[in-house]
Amino acid sequence: MGAMEATAERVDLTVTGMTCAACANRVANKLNDVEGVEEASVNFATGKATVFHRADLDQLSRAIESIGYGVAPPETTSEDVDADREADLFTRLRIAAVLAVPAMLIGMIPTLRFSGWEWVVAALATPVIFWSGWTFHRAALLNLRHGSTTMDTLVSMGSTAAWAWSAVVLVADIDGGHIYFETGAVIVTLILLGKWFETKAKRRTGDAIRALADLGVSTVVLENGAEIDIEQLRRGDRFLVRPGEKVATDGVVVEGRSAVDESMISGEPIPVDKVPGDEVVGATINANGSLTVEATRVGADTVLSQIIRMVDEAQGGTADVQRLADRVASVFVPVAITVALITLVAWLLLGSDANDAFTAAVAVLIIACPCALGLATPLAIMVGTGRGAQMGVLIKGGEVLEDTRRVDAIVLDKTGTVTEGRMELAKVIVPSGDPDGLLQLAAALEARSEHPIAAAIVAGAPVPLRRADVFLNHPGKGVSGTVGGQPVRVGRRSLFDSVPDDVESAAAAAEAAGSTAVFAGRRGIAEGVLVVGDTIRSTSAEAIEAFHEQGLEVTLLTGDNRRTAEHVGALVSADRVISEVMPEDKVLEIQRLQAGGRRVAMVGDGINDAPALAQADLGIAVGTGTDVAMEASDLTIVSGDLRAVADAISLSRRTLATIKGNLFWAFAYNTAAIPLAALGILNPMIAAGAMGLSSVFVVSNSLRLRSFSGYR
């Protein structure tokens, strides 16, 4: 198995001719029987077969074609297939409606009848049943050839049986016999109408991912002014982004300043200021200034391409609840046919009229068709994951939705998740002296250092900075030198010969508040404290409040010292704070929670969070972090806003609730309607209309997820 996994290739095939979930199951089973195929799954909603294989591609195509389905050319997308199917259905529907409506009126309204009206109704209904309804008959015959049945079998049997019985009554001139030509025609028309609505609406479920794909640019202007196609852009090339233009690809700003609208990637509405050294993401919009950007990722490696790929893979996944629906659908059709036969025989044995017995049996066949069952899960997943992508929430698949519902505890990494992940100078405390003057001296020295704390001190100092005459670095302690002829030291306590009590008290108070205390002074004496801290994100407290609303216990997990961690935990209202932990200890903490019966979600952004993300029942990576963390997670948040995690959990739960609602109504509809049809209460035409409406309901219910707004 290990060798197979190492050499198996993935291929996505667009399958044509599938009309229901049972078709998708047949294609998947056939592909899994092909030698060299490790795993194959088929998603009816997307029309795609995903195959991990070591077989020949032609062999896969032949396997699909051998059971009556087709494989579209590689350049053909599932959207193209759906568009062609929609056009074909609409053509068949128009002709069916034109012929079925007069047939129904004549057949059902006695005042419209005339001599020989039965033959006219037969002439009108026959093209509807056999030409407009050919898509159902073809699928039924193909499956019958291989000893199986699908939902199309029920439609084909019901409409054909109505036509055949009517033809016998008409030709044989059976006294008292009823004809059902118009019933068969209306059945086909109504089901075509439902299929057309279903296909039309199903295409809308992919709007979100298509909108993402359309965000990219086709051309880019290089630094030298030359305009080239985006495919020609290479890593390391420098290109221009003028005001109002889209950033061509992921890169780093090398020149210029501007605000960039990243809402289509992150879901955040406020433009982000960009200066030299900042990263920009392809397809985001430059607001006002001009930027020169050096490309760091191109083609399939860009953030946008990765998002599209992740969403596409998520939409092709199968949730456990869908597997249950697929198993039910596979046995439902033969059961429905059996119930229809029992209905026919029972009515006849009870002495009922043959017409009534036939009508009840046909109604059972039509009402039993569980088309909605096959759409209930994949459509909701498509819409939910697509809406998530628009909001900067990437859900890896249907299984994640179920894991999200079960979690009752969430663990948050502090640095870079709850906090901004960058140091800032909070204040300067000089018990007896000039704070600004001391800060200028300290910043002059720290400007020569590359330490993050040094960068925070320099950023917080007034400009222009003074220049250090002499600079010495003391690893682990700080820096020293001379500024304007004055000997200056900046760093830890150990760097100084003397630390006055009032300066020591100020440092202790800063550390107790969760900040880092940096001593500064002249001639070996600490004169004051530079208080440096990692700023808590403005939305973290609001996000944790949302987690509490969702019934989650919140744990803050960090490698920082206890006083800092507890201070941050108190500010954001975390339920528990665990500090001074190493990466491997984070995994142990997750395991302890799980051992206590908790279903744990973990939120992190760094490489050191990856093991804990993988251990958690639900791993959530903040996209401002590393690729390793994103790979180990189940959910990825493109934005750094922790509220997006609450959105992700809420959207996942809403999507799963939609799936369950769809399945309930699909099951409830069939469960309640089949007995009514068997008892003769439901007319076959009403049954056909109700069956079509059930599919439209499932599609419409799934599309409601497009309006999900979340906490942001």
Positions annotated as catalytic residues are 413
CA torsion sign for 679, 684, 686, 688 is positive
Cα gap 163→118, rounded to integer Å: 12
d(CA 170, CA 162): 12
Q: 3-state class of 234 per DSSP? A: coil
> Structure tokens of 393?
């929430």
Question: How far apart, in Å, are the Cα atoms of 395 and each of 197, 400, 590, 655, 680?
Answer: 28, 7, 21, 11, 46
Sign of torsion over alpha carbons 298, 299, 301, 302: positive
Closest CA to 518 of 448, 458, 433, 465: 458
In the Cβ-directed half-sphere of 208, how many Cα atoms lie within 13 Å?
30
**Contact of 105 with 112, CB cutoff 8 Å:** yes
Which of 540, 542, 539, 544 lies closest to 554 in space, CA to CA?
A: 544
What DSSP designation does 489 have? E
Decide: residue 685, CB within 10 A, 0-12 exposed, 13-18 middle, 19+ buried: buried
| Residue 712, token pair as written in the block | 């942001």
Nearest CA-CA partner of 194 in 326, 27, 328, 19: 19
d(CA 648, CA 632): 17
Cα separation, 712 vs 673, whole angstroms: 43
For the four alpha carbons of 12, 15, 18 and 23, in that order, the dihedral sign comes to: negative
Residues 533 and 515: their CA atoms lie apart, in Å, by 5
CA torsion, ordered 63, 66, 70, 72, to nearest 10 deg = 40
Cα–Cα distance for residue pair 265/14, rounded to 1 Å: 28
Tokens of 108: 């059902």
Distances in whole angstroms, Cα of residue 555 to Cα of each of 540, 570, 601, 668: 13, 11, 10, 41
**Residue 674, both tokens:** 């089949």
Length reported for the chain: 712
Q: At what angle do helices 320-349 and 354-368 cross, to 10 degrees?
A: 180
Q: Which DSSP state fits 638?
A: S
**Nearest in space to 133 (alpha carbons), one of 85, 99, 92, 105:** 92
How far apart CA 297 and CA 136 sit, in angstroms, is 48
- Stated as kind and residue range, the H or E segment containing 411 is strand 409-413
Residues contacting 642, CB < 8 A, separation 6+: 412, 417, 418, 537, 539, 540, 543, 544, 603, 622
CB-neighbour burial class of residue 552 (10 A; exposed 0-12, middle 13-18, buried 19+):
buried
Can you point out the beta strands (E) in 45-146?
Answer: 48-53, 70-71
Would you say 279 and 301 are in contact if contact means Cβ atoms under 8 Å apart? no
